[in-house]
A and B are shown apart, each in its own frame.
Chain A
Amino acid sequence: MKNVLNKRNLITLVIIGVLFFVVQLLIKERIITAYMRSNIYWIGIYIILGLSLNMIIGITGQLSLGHAGFMSIGAFAAAVVLKTNPTLTGLFIGIGIGVLISLAVSFVVAVPTLRLKGDYLAIATLGVAEIIRIVLNNLSVTGGASGISNIKMLMSWPLLYTFVILTIFLTHNFKNSAIGRACISIKEDEIAAEAMGINTTKYKVIAFMFGAALAAMAGSLFSTTYYIVKPDSFGVNTSINILILVVFGGMGSLSGTIIATFIIGLVNIVLQPYAEIRMILYALILIIVMIFRPQGLLGSQELSTKLLPNFKWKRKEKSS
Chain B
Amino acid sequence: MKKLLSLLVAFLVIGGLTACSSGSGEKVAETIKIGVNLELTGDVSVYGIPERNAFEQATAEINAAGGIDGKLVELVIYDNAYDQAKAVQNTEKLIEDGVVAILGSATSGMTLAIAPLAKDNGLVVFTPSGTNSAVTMDGTNVNPWAFRACFIDPFQGQVLANFASGDLGAKNAVVMVNSGSEYSKELARIFTEQFTANGGKVVETASYADADTDYKASLTSIATKSFEVLFVADYAKNAGLIIGQARSTAGLETVNIIGPDGFEDPALNDLAGGAQNVSNVFFSTHFSTLSNDQQVADFVKSHAAFTLEKYGKAEVPSALTALAYDAAYMLFKAIDNADSTDPAAIRDALEALEAFDGVTGDISFDKFHNAVKPAFLIELNNGVPVNATIVNP
Contact = CB atoms under 8 A, between A and B. Distances in A.
Given a CB threshold of 8 Å, the question of whether A touches B is answered with yes
A34 B185 contact: no
A313 interface: no
Interface stretch (A102-110, A173-181, A227-235): A227-235
A227 B13 CA distance: 36
A222 B115 CA distance: 17
A227 B6 contact: no
Going nearest first, the 8 A-B pairs with the smallest beta carbon separation are A146-B182, A275-B79, A35-B92, A275-B40, A149-B112, A226-B84, A228-B112, A35-B93
A233 B42 CA distance: 12
Residue from the set B14, B89, B92, B137 with the largest chain A CB neighbour count within 10 Å: B89
Nearest to B189: A144
Interface in A215-242: 222, 225-230, 232-233
Contacts of B84: 226-230, 233
A227 B17 contact: no
Interface string B271-305: 00000000000000000000000000000000000
A145 B182 contact: yes
6 contacts: A42-B89, A145-B182, A146-B134, A146-B186, A147-B182, A292-B7
A161 to B, nearest CB: 18
Given A38-B92, A227-B116, 4 more contacts: A33-B96, A145-B184, A275-B79, A284-B10
A222 B10 CA distance: 33
A146 B116 contact: no
B113 A228 contact: yes
A284 B7 CA distance: 10
Interface in B1-51: 3, 6-7, 10, 13-14, 17-18, 21, 40-42
Interface residues of B, number: 47
A275 B41 contact: yes
Interface in A262-287: 268, 270, 272-279, 281, 284-285
Contacts of B180: 137, 145, 232
Contacts, number: 112
B179 A145 contact: yes
* Main secondary structure on A side of the interface with B: helix
A153 interface: yes
A226 B185 CA distance: 23
B88 interface: yes
A39 interface: yes
A146 B185 contact: yes
B85 A42 contact: yes
Interface string A11-50: 0000000000000000000000111011100100000000
Contacts of B93: 35, 272
A135 B21 CA distance: 44
A146 B17 contact: no
Given A150-B138, A288-B6, A292-B7, A277 B17 contact: yes
A138 interface: yes
A227 B109 CA distance: 10
A273 B92 contact: no
A149 B134 contact: yes
Contacts of B108: 146
B356 interface: no
Contact of B96 (A35, A153, A226, A232): A35
Contacts of A285: 10
Residue from the set A233, A275, A277, A285 with the largest chain B CB neighbour count within 10 Å: A275
Interface string B77-100: 111010111111110110110000
A149 B7 CA distance: 43
Nearest to A223: B84
B181 interface: yes
A145 B6 CA distance: 44
Residue from the set A226, A268, A277 with the largest chain B CB neighbour count within 10 Å: A226
B86 to A, nearest CB: 8
Contacts of B113: 149, 226-228
Contacts of B3: 291-292
A227 B139 contact: no
Contacts of A268: 86
B195 to A, nearest CB: 20
Given A145-B180, A226-B113, A38 B89 contact: yes
B156 interface: no
A101 to B, nearest CB: 22
Residue from the set A222, A229, A230, A268 with the largest chain B CB neighbour count within 10 Å: A230
A306 B180 CA distance: 50
A270 B113 CA distance: 22
Contacts of B10: 284-285, 288
